Chains A and B, each alone.
Chain A
C-alpha cells in the first residue's frame, strides 16, 4: 500500500511536468479544441465507474457507478466528436474550401 502510494505520487508529479511542457507548446489557435479534447480524455474516469457498476459489491455502488458511466460516456462521445468537428474546420491558406 505504501509503495503504491509513493509510486502514484511519482506518476502524478511526472504527469504534471509533462502536462505543463506539452500544453505550453499548444498554439492559442487551438485552445478551444484542446479543452474539449482534455475533457474527453478526462472522462477516462469511466473505468472506475465501470468497475463499480460491474462488480456490484453493493446496490448503492452499482447505481452510482451506472449513472457515472452515463455521464462519462457522454463526455467521451461528445468530446471527441466536437473536437474533430472543430479541427476539420481549420484549413491552411492553400486549401480551397468545399
Chain B
C-alpha cells in the first residue's frame, strides 16, 4: 500500500465510489419508483470508473482506446433502441459481448510477458474466466439466434447428447488443470478457449424456445462469474463486486425460472433443459367445449366486478397488447376492477411480459405476479386467458401422471367464469392437453387474440352500456 502516487490514489478512490454506486444502483431497482435513479447511479459509477482508468500512468497510447470507445458507442446505440419484443435476443447478444470482452482480456493476460510467473491460483482463476467466458460467447449467440428465429426453435436432440456435452466440458477442465500444474505448457491454452466455444453451441442445441427464460438467466450468471474471475486476475475489487452482483442476479433468476418451469436446479445447471417430447396426440375433439361470441363475452365482462387477465406469450406474438390495453380501459371505465396475473415464464425472459404490458401503457400496479394474484381467483368473476396455455393447466395441480405435474400455475379454474381466447383446440407448447377447456365454467373464445379482443372492445363501447 505504500508508495501510492497521487493519481493512483485518485484512481482507487474513483473505483471505490463506483463500487458503492453499483450497489446503490441495484438497491434502487427494487421498486419502479426509484429504479430510474438506479440507472443513473450505475451510469455515474461507470463514468467514474472509466475516467479513473484513463488516468492510469501505465497508459502510453490513447488512440486505440478512443477509437474503440467511439466504435462501441456506435454499436451500442441501436442495441439500446430495439423493439420491446426483441429485448430477450438483445439481452442474449449482450451477454455474448460481455463474455467476449472477458475472454479476450483473459487471453491477452495469459500471453503477456511477466517478470514473476503467475501463481497457480491465478492460473486456475484465469482458466475459469476463459472457459466460462468462451462458452457464454457461443451459448448466448445461439440463444439469440433461436430467439430471433434465425435458428430452428425446436430442440434438436440425439442419443448420448449429455454424455458428449459433459465430456467436452470435462476435457476442457482437465486441460485447465494440466495448465495450472504446468503453466509453461502454453500451447494448451487455445484448447481451453476452443472447446468451451464448441460446448456453448452444443449446450443450446437441445433447448427449445419455451426454455429460453432459464437459459438467458443462466448465461447471465456465467457472464457475471467470468467477470468476477477476471477481477481476481487483474486484482480489481471493482470488477469482482460488479461480476458477483451480476452472477448472483443471474443465479437467482435462473433458480426462479427453473422453479416456475418445474425443473430441478441440477437439471438446469447441467444444461439438460431439453426434455423428451411428449407425444402430442390430442384427442381433444371428442370432448364437448362451450364457446361464446365476442358479444356474449363483452356482456359477461361488463357485468363482472373483478376481472383477471392472464396474458401469455401468444398475446405478444399476436401483437395484441395494445388491444388488451383498450379492453382494460373500457372495463375500468365501467368500474370493473381489472388486474393482470403474470406467470414468471409468461415471456421469453424473466419479467418480459411486464415490460410488454407497461409498453402498452398498462399501469404497473395492475400487474401482479403469480404468488400475489393466486389468492384472488376465488373472488374473481372472470379470468380471461389470452395466449397462455400450460401455465393455466390445472393438471399441474391435481394430476400426478401429467408431465407438468408440480409446476406452479395460475389458479384460473377457481374463478367463477373462465374465458380462453385461442385459435383452435390444439395443445400447448408442451403438447399437453388442458382439462381447463372442458370445465363447465369455461367459455372458449375461438379466434385470433388481437381480433377477438378488438371485437370485445367494440361490443363494449358500442353496446348500451349496462
Interface, chain A (partner B; CB < 8 A): 1, 4-5, 7-8, 11-12, 15-16, 18-20, 22-58, 60-62, 64-95, 97
Contact = CB atoms under 8 A, between A and B. Distances in A.
A8 B244 contact: no
Contacts of A28: 256, 342, 344, 350-351, 354, 369
B244 A53 contact: no
Interface in B72-105: 72-73, 75-82, 84, 87, 90-91, 94-95, 97-98, 100-102, 104-105
A55 B240 contact: no
B76 A75 contact: yes
A44 B344 CA distance: 29
Contact of A78 (B36, B94, B237): B94
Interface string B213-242: 000110010011001101110111111111
Chain A contact residues: over half helix, strand or loop, or mixed? helix
Across the A-B interface, the 5 shortest Cβ-Cβ residue pairs = A73-B72, A81-B80, A77-B76, A19-B248, A31-B351
Chain B contact residues: over half helix, strand or loop, or mixed? helix
Interface centre among A45, A58, A81 (most CB of B within 10 A): A45
Interface residues of B, number: 115
A45 B102 contact: yes
A48 B97 contact: no
Contacts of A44: 18, 22, 46, 49, 227, 238-239, 242
B245 interface: yes
A16 to B, nearest CB: 5
Nearest to B223: A42
B69 interface: yes
A89 B358 contact: yes
Given A34-B249, A44-B46, A54 B62 contact: yes
Contact of A39 (B50, B91, B232): B91
A32 B349 contact: yes
